[in-house]
């Protein structure tokens, strides 16, 4: 039995998909959760789901790319709950543009969310955790970081940066009892995944159902994962059984990454 009573968790991109599944999972194990998102309507719906289950949570409406946003999110969470134990850097955006067509604005947009915001949230959270005995930070990476799909060059490069930040932060913060790990989820039927596959299929002139099928049967386990399945791995990384796990990149990809 996992019991996270008294633990305080920040989850970014918490209003849908993997972020929502993660927030619900932590709440199920009695953690207090700060849900961070920039969509007020879906954020309020997510908070209602958690509150209706009797868990403690707060909405944090924020553009995580804005100057000072990271420190503000951490301050608001600590003000509400008195501490911070876990940060899940889940928020991310994708991009599908061929290498020779990637624009500066697209590159900057992807890196602002996937790298800059993630790093400064990690920094702000770790600054609090190091003074309170430690904590756990889990960053969401992607198998794309190790694949050569040229239409994903901006996204894949940003996730490679996430992997580097994870390793470096784990080395730097271990002395404070702060563990830093990453998860690399496989193909999930989320809104972002559906949008990406529709765009890729259209660009390639391929029938969408056939394209989705081909991207399912090429997974060694021959199935897709779910946000709930990946969320359980994220939660495990924040618990006692994972207390000696840091600098790890946990592949939850059904075998897309065979290392």
Query: What is the pTM for the complete model shown?
Result: 0.94
> Which residues 6+ apart lie within 8 Å of 135 measured at CB?
84, 85, 86, 87, 125, 126, 128, 129, 177, 178, 179
Report pLDDT digits (tens) over 19-76: 999 999 999 999 999 999 999 999 999 999 999 999 999 999 999 999 999 999 999 9
Report pLDDT digits (tens) over 142-201: 999 998 888 889 999 999 999 999 999 999 999 999 999 999 998 988 888 888 888 888
CB 23 within 8 A of CB 14: yes
* CATH 3.30.1330.10 is the classification of domain 8-186+226-252: no
Question: Of the residues 152, 155, 176, 211, which is catalytic?
Answer: 155
CA-closest candidate to residue 31, choices 62, 1, 14, 8 = 8
Residue 158, phi-psi category: left (phi > 0), alpha (psi -120 to 50), beta (remainder): alpha
Cα angle 194, 196, 201 (rounded to 5 degrees) comes to 95
Q: Where are the alpha helices (DSSP H) in the chain?
A: 17-28, 40-51, 69-81, 104-111, 118-129, 153-173, 191-204, 208-217, 227-237
Q: What is the DSSP string of 6-42?
A: T-EEEEESTTSHHHHHHHHHHHHTT-EEEEEES-HHH
pLDDT of residue 200: 81
pLDDT of residue 258: 65
Q: How far apart are CA 82 and CA 205, in angstroms?
A: 53
Can 155 be counted among the known catalytic residues?
yes
Query: Has residue 259 got a pLDDT over 60?
Result: no
């Amino acid at each position: 039995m996992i019991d996270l009573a008294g633990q305080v968790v920040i989850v970014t991109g918490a209003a849908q998909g993997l972020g929502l599944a993660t927030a619900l999972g932590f709440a199920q194990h009695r953690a207090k959760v700060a849900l961070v998102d920039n969509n007020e309507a879906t954020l309020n719906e997510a908070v209602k789901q958690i509150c209706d289950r009797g868990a403690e949570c707060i909405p944090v409406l924020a553009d995580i790319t804005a100057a000072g946003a990271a420190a503000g999110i951490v301050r608001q969470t600590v003000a509400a709950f008195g501490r911070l134990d876990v940060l899940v850097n889940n928020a991310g955006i994708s991009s599908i543009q061929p290498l020779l067509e990637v624009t500066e604005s697209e590159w900057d947009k992807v890196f602002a969310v996937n790298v800059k915001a993630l790093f400064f949230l990690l920094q702000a959270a770790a600054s609090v955790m190091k003074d309170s005995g430690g904590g756990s930070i889990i960053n969401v990476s992607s198998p794309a970081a190790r694949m050569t799909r040229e239409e994903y060059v901006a996204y894949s490069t940003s996730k490679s940066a996430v992997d580097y930040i994870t390793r470096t932060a784990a080395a730097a913060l271990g002395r404070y009892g702060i563990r830093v790990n990453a998860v690399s989820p496989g193909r999930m039927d989320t809104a972002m995944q559906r949008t990406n596959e529709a765009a890729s299929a259209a660009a390639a002139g391929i029938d969408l159902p056939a394209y989705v099928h081909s991207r399912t049967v090429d997974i060694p386990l021959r199935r897709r994962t779910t946000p709930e399945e990946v969320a359980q791995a994220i939660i495990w990384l924040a618990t006692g059984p994972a207390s000696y796990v840091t600098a790890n990149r946990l592949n939850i990809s059904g075998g897309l990454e065979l290392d």
